[in-house]
Amino acid sequence: MQIDRNNIDELTARLTLTVEPADYTERVEKILKDYKKTSQYPGFRKGKTPMALIRKQYAAPVLADEMNKIISESLGSYIDQEKLEILGNPIPETSTDSAGNWEQPEAFTFTYEIGLAPKISLEFGRSAKFVRHIIKVDKKAIEAAVQDHCRRHGSISEPEEASDTDLLMGHFTQLDASGSPVEDGIESDSNIALEHLTDRRTRKQLRGAKVGDVFALDPRKVSHGHGDLEKMLGITHEQVHALDGNFNFEVKEIKRLTPHENDQELRDKVLGKDVVSSEKEFREKVSEELHSQFDRDAEHVFRRRFVVDLIEYMKIQMPDAFLKRWIQKNNEQPLSEEQMAKEYPNYAESMRWQLLQQAVMKDSDLRVSAEELEEEAKRVIGAQYAQYGMPLEGEMLDNFAKNALSNDEERRRIADIIIERKVVDSLKPKVTIKDKSVNFDDFAKLAAEVR
């Protein structure tokens, strides 16, 4: 067996495999002899069929099967011995018909193209500068937090008519071009928060709504982006893109939140009985909470943004043409040029991040222990249940964590969380990070971009 490598460019190469009779003859002969022992041909006793007949019927398919095994083994050994870091799998360039004569075999020649992983340097230099956005705890932010406490501890009523700040709970029904319900069309129970509607005409249309009223409206104008529309109508991402026309929205309930008065009763509910006794002290406590909360939020957004910005800064080159061919070859359904152009950038970005993570893990000898997995699983699961007001503790939380880690997919997901955290922690000291103060609204926009 001989394998020759010719570099096509920096990140792709062609491997030429020459398989000689000495590489396959013994293997093929052994299998044919085993076939002879068990074969039964008319006119011959079991195991007595002439070898010429066995070869005529089985030699070519056995050789083809063994050749595939030899090629796979040889490619794997060569890649390991040469310490090649490849992306995807080798793509065959030679058809079996053109590789050699299967009926009268001698030497066979096969060619494969491979994509090579780019070299990742973790030396960034002084030009690697990144921004960590810090939210200003100003009067506006404190006032917004106070009002949020008022809303959280407010009361819910059910008015007869909807105002600009009410919540409409109802049922969506898909309509056709003539305004009639679509047979077997999309239907969903969902809500519309009038307070957050940006389309003035739709808000005006729904203002004064009563239970039982039905409105024909565009669901895009009562949702906030594709993700929100998916949840509102209970549909897939593909259905969102294909969605057209209006829906009927029948009002089932109207909910009105009346905020709590900003008084001593509110302060006691938020902070505890008599912890503070004045509006000034309450705002000081709110300010302390905001500093802590904003710092956590700032770190979360920075870490998500840092991953994207660092990869963009590094300009990691990829064997794009090779990877596109490999994706096309391994995809169950062929991708159109338009689909490939749309989906490939995200795939390449994810691949770059994986390569960077692997480089950091290797450089810093980072590992994930069983104890870390268990603690992270408890943290993730505990936070999920806490969102619904169902705190988990002690033995129950331990059992939930163990059950989660027994699932391979969930275990990988939790391990990925730990790995990303460790990798970012390892990368941060290698670059320059400067804090920049922004107001809450600007920060919310930045946060929305990385969710």
* CB contact burial 104-121 (16+ within 10 A = b; e otherwise): ebeebebbbbbbbbbebe
Domain limits, the chain: 2-116, 155-258, 277-449
Q: What is the percent of the chain with per-residue pLDDT over 90, rounded to a whole number?
A: 61
The class level of CATH for 277-449 reads mainly alpha
Alpha-carbon torsion (288, 293, 296, 302), positive or negative: negative
pLDDT score for 141: 86
Give the residue-averaged pLDDT of 420-434: 93
CB atoms within 10 A of CB 282: 22
CA distance 404 to 396: 12
2-116 and 277-449 share one fold: no
What single-letter DSSP state applies at residue 161?
Answer: S
Please determine, for residue 47, whether its predicted confidence score (pLDDT) is greater than 90.
no
Helices (H), 106-162: 139-152
CA distance 94 to 14: 11
* CATH numeric code, 155-258: 3.10.50.30
pLDDT tens-digit map of 63-110: 889 989 999 999 999 999 999 999 999 999 876 555 666 677 788 889
Rounded to 5°, the CA angle 44-48-53 comes to 80
pLDDT score for 351: 94
pLDDT score for 385: 78
pLDDT score for 98: 58
CB atoms within 10 A of CB 249: 23
pLDDT tens-digit map of 144-164: 889 989 988 999 999 999 999
pLDDT score for 100: 64
Please determine, for residue 320, whether its predicted confidence score (pLDDT) is greater than 90.
yes
Contact residues for 386 (Cβ-Cβ < 8 A; gap 6+): 392
Phi and psi at 233, nearest 5°, equal -100, -5
pLDDT tens-digit map of 275-285: 999 999 999 99
With beta carbons less than 8 A apart as the criterion, state whether 427 and 310 touch.
Answer: yes
- For the chain, the average pLDDT equals 90
Give the residue-averaged pLDDT of 107-117: 93
Give the residue-averaged pLDDT of 361-388: 88
With beta carbons less than 8 A apart as the criterion, state whether 301 and 443 touch.
Answer: yes
CA distance 372 to 415: 9
Give the residue-averaged pLDDT of 337-354: 91
pLDDT tens-digit map of 376-425: 999 988 888 776 667 778 888 999 999 999 999 999 999 999 999 999 99
CA distance 445 to 404: 34
* CATH numeric code, 2-116: 3.30.70.1050
